Amino acid sequence: MDGVRGEITLLLHKMGGGDSDAEERLFALVYGELRRLARIYMRHERSEHTLQPTALVHEAFLKLIGTPPINWQNRHHFFAVSAQVMRRILVDQARRRLRKKRGGKNRPISPEEVILCSYDDPELVMSVHECLLRLAEIDERQSRIVELRFFGGLSIEATATILCISPKTVQRDWNYARAWLYGQLKDGHVYAA
Amino acid sequence: MQHNWDNAKSLFEAALQQPADQRPAFLQESCSDPGIREEVQKLLAYHAELGNFLTTSPLQRGRPVSESRGPLKAPGDLLARRFRVAQFLARGGMGEVYEAEDLELHEHVALKMVRSEIATWYPNCLQRFKREVHLAKRVTHPNVCRVFDLFRHSDTGENGDPEEELIFVSMELLHGETLSDRLRRGPVNPGEALAVVSQVSGALDAAHTVGVLHRDLKPGNIFLSADGSRGTRVVVTDFGLALSLDEVRTDPANPPSQGEFLGTPAYMSPEQLLNQDLTPASDVYSLGLIMYQMVTGVRPFEDETPNCTASRRLTDKIPSPRTVAPDLDKVWEGVILKCLERDPSRRFQVAGQVLSALRSDSGPVRFFPKARRNSIAILPFVNTSGNPEMDYLSDGITETIISTLSRIPKMRVMAHSTVFRFKGRLDDPQNIGRQLDVASVLVGRVFNRGNMLKIGVELVDVANGRQIWGEQYNRNFVDVFEIQDDIAKEISTKLELKLSSEEKKHLYKRQTQNTDAYQLYLKGRFFWNKRTEHDFRTGIDFFSRAVAIDPGYALAYSGLADSYTTQSFLCPHIPPRELMPQARQTASKALSLDSGLAEAHASTGIIDLRYDWNPISAEKSFQRAIALKPSHAIAHQWYGECLAAMTQFDRSITELKIAQDLDPLSPIINSVLAGMLCFGGQYDQAIEQCQCTLEMHKEFWLALYFLGLSHECRGEFDQAVSAFQRSAVAAQKNPMTLGGLGHSYARAGKKSEATNLLNELRALSERSYTSPVNLALITLGLEQYESAFAELDRAVNARVGWMVFLQADPRFKCVRTDERFGGILQRVFGSPEERRSA
């Protein structure tokens, strides 16, 4: 475990420097841990509880890293990366489900997918994902805010801290980005499966 | 484009400040570009329609796992030809729970069933279930749900083929609701809560007493069952996660992380979240969270975003339940917070203590003992000069600080070989501190340019990750000692050590005034720590040069003595009579220069033991060394060997465990502990200790050696041979490992393999010296006693160190009654009278 923790810390550092191989490796590690946790949930969670995959992803990180880094520079990476990972997981799942809808291969559903696919709208996920790619070209900060808020499930305050801007700015950008994305979706830029 | 975007954005924001009906006029007024105006108008319209758009992450919209599936069985269904289903009760993660009538015993029971698709996800599901039944049956207590038996049931499909098999457990049928159901209606009053705590803690104690941890205690696993006359009977269910304490212990590096036996994260203790070892205090933590929720109605941090909840339990202090429920009794507040201490050793260690603390009427309960306050790990200073040559300086400074602070009584300073495992690692210091269980961690950085030396240090409080103290030193290279004094003094102050004047004197006693000699000493220790034959020689060269420059440098002489002694032990092809006199001479020199130097006393003791076979005088030296420097791990280790040589195994193990506590990651100390456990006849513990060591230090030859010996003593010859073989490979056929292997071959009945090794060693001994003890061991195994005694005779003449274990090493047991053995013994330890009078 220590080896993995060391590696994760290293990968976080590398990602800070924009290393895409590091991102791939980190994603693989986190996703593996996530599947493991999901299976555990499947076994033990009782029906009266609802499952929050966001909490799961965070758990996966905790398991891998040990403790969230204490210094803010690393914590920044930590949450930012976890939002990125969640985005990838969701997009991944959404893509598969849409493919299946179009009559793709009927693969048996795995325990972790029962949890990760528990949202109803893969189209929304794909659309937001694709619009965000465009938004990133126009306004990088706004796309980051949407990623952290929507995919990462972070609060306005947490997002502000991560991006080192004031909560007010986050709120303003968030309002604008949401309106813009809403328009994109409404005016037919919806992801075509 | 960008320009338009920015303009539109500012206009949008400004317009939002206006009342809705005035926005069109506002836009008209403030923007002349019709394109932008139109865009913003659209966006404002979208904004009005937004509602909850994107406000919830899809991942946060969880839903029950199996809500779409109906119950598998209907009332009236017959299971395993014994149970008739009465009704469906609940759904769990694994499957469903039913009420059923046991047709054989004519009573109603609960059946917990596993869904077949889940069984296929878990290949050894049946084993797990069996284990659950087995564990649960070990716990018998009125507040623990009784588990009866495990059953399998297969239905016959329509075409007559058997369908998938169902696995289910029969258990006590409970009437009522779970605590989770109850909590949904709000907080519980103190009287009710006390009833729950008292019964749950009784159940936990009963489980802990038989070595079972619950590991998944949560309101959903606590049943409130109406029990007419006596009020509510509280029953703890679902020992599904329980793992026996033995298993947690025997598999320390690999407990829950690999397996699926994990708890519900919402009620997990920090150590469980971090995959660390679990103890009864882990269940106490879960109980604490449940108490918190019972009296406040919420869990700590519950209203934060889910991302933060888990991590905050790990990093932040749990807020007092009184912040949520201001009227809460102060005793309850204290007890809950004590259950929720992050450090398991600060919690109640026994669940029953929770109850007695709540009931104590003797004023406020005292909590929060300051455990392990005086403990520190000095992490290897980082050499940031970019010049690997400077490693000796950064390592040396680290070592000097460790050594200086180790002199302070009651101060637990992590030893060199333990902290150096973290060298070059990116781990966060707080994390390392937790792993080592110390209160504070010192990290430092060394940089030099020409004659200028810069040292930055930072002292981190492990409890909260905060910096206690930090300092930057820019000094001329000549001042290297002063910097160290400064650092040692500052650290002591910060740790609020009450140093007596005597201790202070020791703390700041400088061993040499000569910078060059000091640098050479640091280089010598650097190479000594590498522990290979070549590095011993290099180290000896540096120590020799240090004493050449400063002939009064006692510590460097002690370094020389340790180099010779250790080399003699690890390289058995050099006769002890060549190396040990030099060891003796340098150790005496060190003592004559500084009679208060702990290292010199320890060096003397190990020579007394291994070369003079005089455990009695060795004991005195070790005791003196330990008195001078209580946290000198090596002195404790050597003392442990000394006591084992005197067959005082209990005391030996005690000393070695102290050594291990001071230097938990040292391969040598851990292996020697295993060896002495084996000598003392505790083979199971010895094997366990070897396995722990091997998990930390893959294929470490000495641990493999004692693993082989322990298996041999248990009569497991195949495992013994295989361990000795690995040991021989790891040590590159060091004669000591060949001796062990040969003996185990012989005992395993593989006489020709044993004879081959014997011949190999004999051929070697004709060319050059090799320790006769190893030849003696093989011949003993082959029951060639004539040759064995001839070899032992040679070993006495050569003054071989291992001979001190004649009475301890079980391989000599077979000849202990032999007259000739008595003669050897007398030559080694003196006559029985002499030994007594000593």
> What average pLDDT score do residues A29-49 get?
57
By Cβ distance, the residue of B62, B257, B426 closest to A50 is B62
Mean pLDDT of A18-38: 68
Query: Does residue B497 surpass a pLDDT of 60?
Result: no
Residues B718-743: b if buried by 16+ CB within 10 A, e if exposed: ebbbbbbbbbbebbebbbbbbbbbbb
CA-CA distance, B260 to B267, in Å (whole number)? 16
Alpha carbon distance B88, B77 (integer Å): 11
pLDDT at B708: 97
3-state SS record for B334-347:
HHHHHHCCCCHHHC
As a residue count, chain A comes to 193
Q: Is A183 on the interface with B (CB under 8 A)?
A: yes
Task: Measure B174 CA to nearest chain A CA, in Å.
Answer: 17
Q: Is A73 on the interface with B (CB under 8 A)?
A: no
A130-156: pLDDT as tens digits: 889 989 988 989 999 998 888 877 778
Q: Give residues with Cβ within 8 angstroms of B545, minimum separation 6.
A: B520
Given A47, A67, A69, which is nearest B66 (Cβ)? A47
Query: Residue B678 to residues B312, B569, B652, B689: CA-CA distances in angstroms?
Result: 45, 20, 12, 10
Cα angle B445, B450, B454; round to 5: 25
Supply the Cα-derived Rg of chain B in whole angstroms.
35
Mean pLDDT of chain B: 79
A169 touches chain B (CB under 8 A): no
CA–CA gap between residue B473 and residue A122 (Å, rounded) = 58
Contacts of B2 in chain A (CB under 8 A): 138
* Nearest residue in A to B48, CA atom: A179
pLDDT in tens, B195-229: 889 889 989 988 888 778 887 788 888 988 866 54
Residue B472's pLDDT is 75
Pairing of strands B212-213, B222-226: unpaired
The closest of B296, B834, B781, B407 to B616, measured between CA atoms, is: B834
B468 pLDDT more than 50: yes
> Active-site residue numbers of B?
216
Residue B713, token pair as written in the block: 């003593």
Shortest CA distance from B52: residue in chain A: A178
Backbone angles phi, psi at A9, to 5 degrees: -55, -45
In B, minimum Cα distance to A127 occurs at B54
Q: Which of B46, B57, B60 sits opposite A186 (nearest CB)?
A: B46
CB of A33 within 8 Å of a chain B CB? The answer is no
The confidence band for A72, taking pLDDT boundaries of 50, 70 and 90, is: very low
Q: Is A151 on the interface with B (CB under 8 A)?
A: yes
Which residues of chain A are within 8 Å of residue B180 when distances are taken between CB atoms? 46, 48
The closest CB to that of A179, out of B46, B181, B426, belongs to: B46
- At B172 the pLDDT is 86
The confidence score (pLDDT) of residue B252 equals 33
Q: Pairing between strand B382-383 and B162-171?
A: unpaired
Alpha-carbon gap, residue B781 to B600, rounded angstroms: 39
Neighboring chain A residues of B302 at a CB cutoff of 8 Å: none
Contact at 8 Å (CB) between B143 and B235?
A: yes
Region B147-168: mean pLDDT is: 68
Two structure tokens written together for B494: 């910060």
Residue B330 pLDDT class (50, 70, 90 cuts): confident
User: Per mean pLDDT, which of B409-418, B468-477, B751-760 is the most reliable?
Assistant: B751-760
- pLDDT the model gives residue B243: 43
- Stretch B401-430: mean pLDDT: 72
> Across the interface, which of A44, A53, A180 has its CB nearest the CB of B216?
A44
CB-nearest to A90 from B49, B59, B265 is: B59
Chain B residues whose CB is inside 8 A of the A86 CB are: 57, 59
Per-residue model confidence (pLDDT) at position A164: 80
- Report how far apart, in Å, the C-alpha atoms of B313 and of each of B266, B295, B323, B338 are: 10, 18, 16, 14
Contact yes or no for B207/B221 (Cβ under 8 A) = no
Q: Are the C-beta atoms of B173 and B108 separated by less than 8 Å? A: yes
pTM over 0.80: no
Q: Compute CA distances B496 → B378, B656, B662, B690, whole Å.
A: 17, 29, 21, 39
User: Alpha carbon of B515 to those of A158, B477, B519, B549: distances in Å?
Assistant: 52, 8, 6, 10
pLDDT at B775 exceeding the cut of 90: yes
If one compares B107 and A62, the residue with the highest pLDDT of the two is B107
Answer yes or no: do B273 and A59 touch at CB < 8 A.
Answer: yes
Whether residue A49 lies within 8 A of chain B, CB to CB, comes out as yes
Tokens of residue A131, six digits: 């619009």
Question: In degrees, to the nearest 5, what angle opens at C-alpha B407 toward C-alphas B401 and B409?
Answer: 130
Between the two ends of chain B, the Cα-to-Cα distance in Å is: 97
Chain B residues near residue A87 by CB distance under 8 angstroms: none
**pLDDT at residue number B478:** 67
Q: Which of B59, B67, B698 to mutate to test the interface with A (most CBs of A within 10 A)?
A: B59
The shortest C-alpha distance from B202 to chain A (Å) reads 24
pLDDT score for B756 = 95
Q: Which of residues 83-142 of A touch B (CB under 8 A)?
A: 86, 89-90, 110-111, 114-116, 118-121, 124-125, 128, 138-139
- Residue B390 in contact with residue B486, Cβ under 8 Å? no
Contact list, B265 vs chain A (CB under 8 Å): 55, 59
CA distances from A152 to A3, A5, A53, A80, B244 (A): 26, 22, 11, 8, 37
Using the Cα atoms of residue B729, residue B730, residue B736 and residue B742 in order, give the sign of their dihedral. Answer: negative
Q: Is A193 on the interface with B (CB under 8 A)?
A: no
The answer on pLDDT for B305 being more than 60 is no
B151 CA: distance to closest CA in chain A (Å): 19
- Give the model's pLDDT for residue B260: 31
3-state secondary structure of A94: helix
Q: What pLDDT is stored for residue B687 in this prediction?
A: 94
Alpha carbon dihedral B4, B6, B8, B11, in 10-degree steps, equals -140
- Per-residue pLDDT tens digits for A109-123: 454 554 454 455 677
Q: Which residues of A touch B266 (CB under 8 A)?
A: 49
Residues of chain B in contact with residue A153, where contact means CB-CB under 8 angstroms, are 56-57, 59-60, 305-307
